[in-house]
A and B are shown apart, each in its own frame.
Chain A
Amino acid sequence: MSDTNRLQNTSLPIYGTAATRTPLGTRIRSFIMSEDFLAFAILIAAFLLWGLSVPQIDERNIDHLGIVSALTPMSFLGMGLMNVGFVLLVRREHSPDWLKLAYVLVLILMLYGITALIEEYPRFSVNYFHVGFAEHISRTGELATGFDARFSWPGFFAFTAFLMDIAKLDVLDTFPLLMWSHVLFNLLYLVPVWMISVALTENRRQAWFATWFFFLTNWIGQDYFSPQGMAFLFYLVIAAILVRWFKGWDVPFETQVKRIQATSQGWYPRLQRLADFVFRTRWTRWIAKVFISPDPPNEASTPSQRAGLMLIIVLLFAAIVSSHQLTPFFMLSTLAGWVVFNRIKRMYYLPILLAVMVGAWISFMTVDFMAGNVVGLLQSIGRVQEAIAPSTSQNAITVSAERTLIIRSRLFMSAMIWGLAGLSALWRLYRKQRIDWTVLIAAGAPFPMAILQSYGGEMLLRVYMFALPFMSIMIAYWFPFKVPRLSRLLTAFLIVFLTLNLGLFLLTRHGNEEMDYVTREEFEGFEYLYSIAPLGSAMISVQESMPYRYRYEVDYIYGPYEELFNTPELLRGLAKQIEDEFGGISFILVTRSATVTAELLYGMPEDWGEDFAAEIHNRDDFVVLWENRDMQISVMDDSNYWTVFADAPHEDAPTQDESQQDESP
């Protein structure tokens, strides 16, 4: 890209343009007559189609295939049209940025906001757990590091607690935040992703395409109300600052050669001779050119601005280190790669500083967690199979054809994106004799993490997420956005390619929705449970995938007990054992989301949950306290429950006689 174009691409204010600006009416008329208006009309049509389809979508229609099974043809059409309109925009050189931005914003709403619009309560049980952590901090002002490892990295929960306290939000007030966190996080990701794309691509259309592709393929779903969602934002911001202002080799190769020669001249005569040799011989010069492969120019900045930006990076380091276990290591890996290959300017101290901060945090602030887990953490190094298995093979052996399709779609989509990005790197080396080191390093740096730690089988998902902004850029390199207008054939190909990715996204991203959505009936059941369950009670379920733990989280006993839910006798034995050991009440919970999770992930038979609930209902040794179509709460007939409520009956709690009367078929 020429320097003139580069200047146009920056956001520097251009003075003196007001006098030459055409009147608003003329501009509107020319806009209506242009191809941009077609793209604008498509955007409006797509939004209307999609928006009108939303009220027709019923969460109860979601099945093993995820949200795809509940969407209407109008929803698909609306989302499909988005790709058409966006491609029509980026195929031409002078399409307006505001329209591309509008497209990306609507895309984010469509893809990430759909669950908030069709579901009544926040989805995904872990959202509720995280609010529970914050509620604990808010109520007690302390951490419970012995209760859960996440308390050893409390940044996100501490901030949420502060927000709850200072804005007077109770647990239920945070629910809109939980529901819309996917959209909010992705809106926050937009600017840094766009900054990264602009800084590392050859023109603005390519950058917009990379940004679009990122949001179209970010299926990992870590952007819920979570520390990793926040830490990923910090990661992106750090990367964006570094590649926008601090790229190491950002001048043309010839200038770089002169710089190296000038630097080596004064210092080391031998180095100078080496530099002369390298840049004189044809082959060594080619190798040097490939090795240097300069990036697009840095954004202009003053020393004080650079110092300020460095302080922001250090602040973000501190926030990442204290918020999330994994993100600092991804950051460290990327930074180390950039420093080693001189892709960021004179920043040798950055990875060292981050490593020291991580080391200090783990050594001093996570003692409670590390005390019982060091051996396990060390043992998992090098077990790559563990990093892959739980998210692929283990799930793939289970239940339905639909579930298998979703698992395979995830594998296919990941492999396709990584493969296309890898081929793009090879193609650029072959055709342009360059290696895009900055992009390649950041795209590849997350992969060694899968060798170091399996993280319960989720590591590969995180690798995909951290690599994606840079993989998207590498995929954008495939398309010749330098030409004034893409050919019709290429335009058609782009539409098909993006539509394929949209389809895969809907399957992969929202494929777990049957497990993740929460119904009013489930939530009301838990509200009832919290109104009666004394602190210290146990909440026993087949799976933890339920909307609970959002109140007094550390004061109850939880646990998924898949194997014990095969027979009520085993379950009863467990409930009795817990009551004898801890003295509280064992509440046995059968919920829609937990039983579906057990069916989908652990091979329980179809409709197993309903049968089990009916069996509990009909047995004499269990008493059902609460029951609706999605939730059943029961206790044993000789449970401590009857002792506790015999002395001080809760106003909402049924007596044993009433409960047994309710059991009539």
Chain B
Amino acid sequence: MRINGSRPQLSTWFWLLAIPFSMIAAGLVQQNSVQTTLPLTLFRIVTMWYVLVIPGMTLVKLLQLRQTHIEWMLAIVISICVNMLMTELMIYLHAYFPKVVLALVLIINLLAWLALLWITFRRGRHDDTAQ
């Protein structure tokens, strides 16, 4: 990410890549064929990592707070909120299926990631033009 003409930060590139990889991993490990071959611990780590961090981190990165401890705290809290509200919605619609909830969260996450991508590269272009 380029802010005020500064060099893109390593952490920005990390999250721009880590978010889609985590989304893909979280979706893949829910497939029955993958689940049977994957150790249960690894399956849980991948799932928990996605559910508890990634949706929130995607939204937080949009804010560009650049304060690591606050970003992590907000990422976890927002992830919990998003998952919670989606699950509640599906329960009240009498259509609670965990994989459907996960799919909805993944869709929201994908949209947020696309927005993050757009903002990052738009700023990059803007800075290049300014220079």
Q: State the A residues within 8 Å of B (CB).
A: 11-13, 15, 137, 141-143, 154-156, 158-159, 161-163, 165-169, 188, 191-192, 195, 230, 233-234, 237, 304-305, 308-309, 312, 315-316, 318-319, 322-323, 365
Cβ–Cβ contact B84 & A141, under 8 A: no
Interface residues on B, range: 35 or more
A154 touches B85 (CB 8 A): no
Write the chain B residue with the least CB distance to A305. Answer: B63
Distance of A504 from chain B, by nearest CB (Å)? 29
> Top 5 nearest A-B pairs by Cβ distance?
A165-B98, A141-B96, A191-B73, A159-B84, A158-B87
Q: Which residue on chain A has the smallest CB distance to residue B97?
A: A141
Q: How far is the CB of B33 from chain A (nearest CB, A)?
A: 15
**B82 beta carbon closer than 8 Å to chain A:** yes
A304–B65 alpha-carbon span in the complex (Å):
11
Checking A137, A158, A195, A233 against B70 with a beta-carbon cut-off of 8 angstroms, the contacting residue is A195
**B80 nearest in chain A by CB position:** A159
Residue contact A166 to B91, C-beta cutoff 8 Å: no
A11: B residues at CB distance < 8 A? 66-70
By beta carbon, the residue of chain B nearest A245 is B65
B91 close to A312 (CB less than 8 A): no
What is the chain A residue whose CB lies nearest that of B69? Answer: A191
Distance between Cα atoms of A167 and B43 in the complex (Å): 7
Taking a contact as CB atoms under 8 Å apart, the answer to whether B44 and A159 are in contact is no
Residues of B near any A CB (own CB < 8 A): 6, 30, 40, 43-44, 47-48, 51, 59, 62-70, 72-74, 76-78, 80-85, 87-88, 91-92, 94, 96-99, 101-102
A141, A166, A167, A365 — which one has the most chain B CB atoms within 10 A of its CB?
A166
Residues of B within 8 A of A155 (CB): 84-85, 88
Cα distance A234–B79 in the bound complex, in angstroms? 12
Q: Are B80 and A319 in contact (CB under 8 A)?
A: yes
Q: Within 8 Å CB of A168, what residues of B?
A: 40, 43-44
The answer on a CB contact under 8 Å between A158 and B80 is no
The answer to whether A158 touches B84 (Cβ under 8 A) is yes
Question: Roughly how many angstroms separate A235 CA and B80 CA in the complex, as a whole number?
Answer: 14
Q: Give the complex CA separation of A365 and B30 in angstroms.
A: 32
B residues in contact with A169, CB < 8 Å: 44
| Cα(A234)–Cα(B74), bound, Å | 10
- Residue pair A167, B51 in contact (C-beta under 8 Å): yes
A161: B residues at CB distance < 8 A: 87
Taking CB atoms, residues of chain B closer than 8 Å to A316 are 77, 81
A188 to B69: give the CA distance in the assembly, Å: 11
Cβ A154 vs Cβ B77 within 8 A: no
- Pairwise interchain contact A141-B94, C-beta atoms closer than 8 A: yes
A-B contact pairs, 20 of them (CB 8 A): A137-B91, A154-B91, A158-B91, A159-B83, A162-B51, A166-B98, A166-B99, A167-B43, A167-B44, A167-B48, A167-B51, A168-B44, A237-B77, A304-B63, A305-B63, A305-B65, A308-B62, A315-B78, A322-B84, A322-B88
Q: Which residue of B lies closest to A308 (CB)?
A: B63
Q: How far is the CA of A318 from the CA of B88 in the complex (A)?
A: 11
Query: CA of A319 to CA of B79 in the docked complex: distance in angstroms?
Result: 11
Check A322 against B85 for contact (C-beta < 8 Å). yes
Q: A188-B76, A195-B70 are in contact. Are A166 and B47 (CB under 8 A)?
A: yes
In this complex, the member of B62, B81, B91 whose beta carbon has the largest number of chain A beta carbons within 10 angstroms is: B81
Determine if A163 and B51 form an interchain contact, defined as CB atoms under 8 angstroms apart. Answer: yes
Pick the residue among B40, B64, B81, B91 that contacts A318 (CB under 8 A): B81
A365 to B91, CA, bound (A): 12
Known: A166-B30, A305-B63. A315 touches B82 (CB 8 A): yes
- Which residues of B are found within 8 Å of A308, using beta-carbon distances? 59, 62-63
- List chain A residues, Cβ under 8 A from B66: 11-13
Residue of A with least CB distance to B30: A166
A305 & B74 in contact (Cβ 8 Å cutoff): no
Alpha-carbon gap, A5 to B15, bound state (A) = 32
A308–B48 alpha-carbon span in the complex (Å): 25
Q: Are B64's CB and A305's CB within 8 A? A: yes
In addition to A142-B94, A191-B70, 6 A-B residue pairs with Cβ atoms within 8 Å of each other are A141-B94, A141-B97, A154-B88, A191-B69, A191-B72, A322-B84
Task: State in angstroms the CA–CA spacing of A342 and B102 once bound together.
Answer: 41
Closest CB of chain B to A547's CB: distance in Å? Answer: 24
- Distance of A198 from chain B, by nearest CB (Å): 11
Q: Which residues of A contact B51 (CB under 8 A)?
A: 162-163, 166-167
Q: Which residues of B contact A233 (CB under 8 A)?
A: 77
What's the least CB distance linking A102 to chain B, in Å? 14
Q: Which residue of A lies closest to B88 (CB)?
A: A158
Contact of B6 among A15, A154, A192, A365 (CB under 8 A): A15
Q: Which residues of B contact A15 (CB under 8 A)?
A: 6
Query: Shortest beta-carbon distance, A601 to chain B, in Å?
Result: 33
Distance in angstroms from B45 CB to nearest chain A CB is: 9
A143-B98 contact in complex given A13-B66, A323-B84, C-beta closer than 8 Å? no
CA distance A195 to B65 in the complex (A): 14
Q: Chain B: which residue is nearest A173 at the CB level?
A: B44
Name the A residues within 8 Å of B47 (CB-CB): 166-167
Task: Please name all residues of chain A whose beta carbon is closer than 8 Å to the beta carbon of B83 when the two chains form the complex.
Answer: 159, 162-163
Residue of B nearest to A195 (CB): B70
Residues of B with C-beta under 8 A to A166: 30, 47, 51, 98-99, 101-102
Cβ of A13: which chain B residues have Cβ within 8 Å of it? 66
Q: Which residues of B contact A230 (CB under 8 A)?
A: 80
Kindly state the separation between the CA atoms of A483 and B65 in the bound complex, as whole angstroms: 32
What residues on A are CB-neighbors of B88 within 8 Å?
A: 154-155, 158, 322
**For A319, what are the chain B residues with a Cβ–Cβ distance below 8 Å?**
80-81, 84-85
A154 to B84, CA, bound (A): 9
Q: How far apart are the CA atoms of A230 and B72 in the complex, in Å? A: 16
Q: Which residues of A contact B43 (CB under 8 A)?
A: 167-168
Of listed B62, B63, B92, residue having the most chain A CB within 10 A = B63
Within 8 Å CB of B96, what residues of A? 137, 141-142
Which residues of the partner chain A approach B72 to less than 8 Å between Cβ atoms?
A: 191
**Complexed CA–CA distance, A124 and B102 (Å):** 31
The answer to whether residues A312 and B80 also contact, given A11-B67, A161-B87, A191-B73 and a CB cut-off of 8 A, is no
Closest partner residue, chain B, to A307 (CB atom): B63
Complex CA gap A230/B84 in Å reads: 11
Tell me the minimal C-beta distance from A288 to chain B in angstroms: 34
Are B85's CB and A234's CB within 8 A?
no
CA distance A316 to B74 in the complex (A): 11
Cα A158 to Cα B85 in complex, Å, equals 9
Chain A residues near B87: list those with CB within 8 A.
158-159, 161-162
Query: What is the distance, in angstroms, from A235's C-beta to the closest C-beta of chain B?
Result: 11
Closest to A163 in B: B51
Instruction: Give the shortest distance, in Å, between B83 (CB) and chain A (any CB).
Output: 6
Smallest CB separation, B130 vs chain A (Å): 17
What is the bound-complex CA distance between A319 and B78, given in angstroms? 10
Residues of B close to A188: CB separation below 8 A: 73, 76-77
Cα-based distance from A82 to B101 in the complex (angstroms) = 45
The smallest beta-carbon distance between B19 and chain A, in angstroms, is 17
A192 touches B73 (CB 8 A): yes
Question: B99: shortest Cβ distance to chain A, in Å?
Answer: 8
CA of A365 to CA of B89 in the docked complex: distance in angstroms? 12
Q: Which residues of B contact A234 (CB under 8 A)?
A: 77, 81
Complex Cα spacing A323 to B88, Å: 10
Chain B residue at minimal CB-CB distance from A306: B63
Known: A11-B67, A167-B47, A168-B44. A162 touches B98 (CB 8 A): yes
